[in-house]
Structure 1
Amino acid sequence: MNQIIKEDIKSIIRKAVLLVKGSNPSGLGSLSDRSIHNASIFQDMDSVGIAVVIYALSKLMGRGISRADIDGLHSLLRRGLELLSSDKDAAYRATIRALLKRIALLDERLGQYIIEVVRQAEIKKGSKIYDHGISIAQTADILGISQWELMSYIGKTSITDRELRPGMIDIAERMRNARAIFRTKEHGV
């Protein structure tokens, strides 16, 4: 596993261990957003796997599960962190699979959670592509998502409100340039 990804996942699991132990579903929801964002950046199975786990845990704990179930999930998370910290990547992945199986036993909606995490990661990735100047229509088409989903997400971010990056010309200056070009062509110059 890539070292940067590994460190990021370890950081997420450390926080998740504390949030699960403290029965904090809203904190897990925030952590879920971060893990989904990272899955959209790294696009590897380990990042997606932990994003699904954190998202599912936030949903499960938000609905209320027994203390025994919380303790079991907490134990598996701690075990995953220990294995990842010891560079036992294959054993870590097996622990994540066991965690997902346990979640599936507690909540039959795990499949929906997986789809939702992948969908959110695609939309976040789309917003980054749009941020680099590709149109919403092209971005949505590239990723196979709807323009409405992408526009809805972009509307919640500050992408459209950002200050100009170095080298970018503001809209008023671009309009003056365009008018000058067309005015010149109209007069035959």
Structure 2
Amino acid sequence: MGVNAEELNQLQQKEFLQALHNEKIKTQSERADYTKSKLAFVIGLFGLGSLKIGAVESHWILYLIPLVAIGYDLYIRAADVSIKKIGAFLRTNPGTTKNEKEWENFSAKYRDTIAPIANTLFTFVVTIAAAMYIYALEQIKNLFFWSVFTSWLLVFLLIIVWMWLTHREIVSKIDNNNPKISDS
């Protein structure tokens, strides 16, 4: 007994949705791993930046802290957007069960706002902390260094705020551009 085209299509759709679920779970795990790695790298850079072995000072490493934190934020946000896109697809796909659609709609309506803010706030705080530590170590001796230091700090703070606003806008578009499909 052969499988007709409709049964084959349903089987393929079921397999695709299962693969999509697996991808979502994998991406959620990757996002968590990126967050843990970000914390470890930033703490490590603070530790290295505070070392002074003989005449060698390594506080210049502190300038990399915002760059590393922002780099990880890009990966974290890319994973987050991927997860949200999968959820939006599942919300609107006719092959998705009613319960799953309801869950995805509920999740989109009541998004966790603490995690994205906490991630951004952490990056913001470590940037300020690195700047304060650099300022304390350098004692800002001349106008040139002061202007470079201030520019460095301002650029990174603006990038952090811009990334947060952009991410919010992208998530909002994902949530709002996917109308609910009726189950009638």
Question: Which is bigger in relative contact order (C-alpha 8 A, separation at least 6)?
Answer: 2
> TM (normalized to structure 1)?
0.31
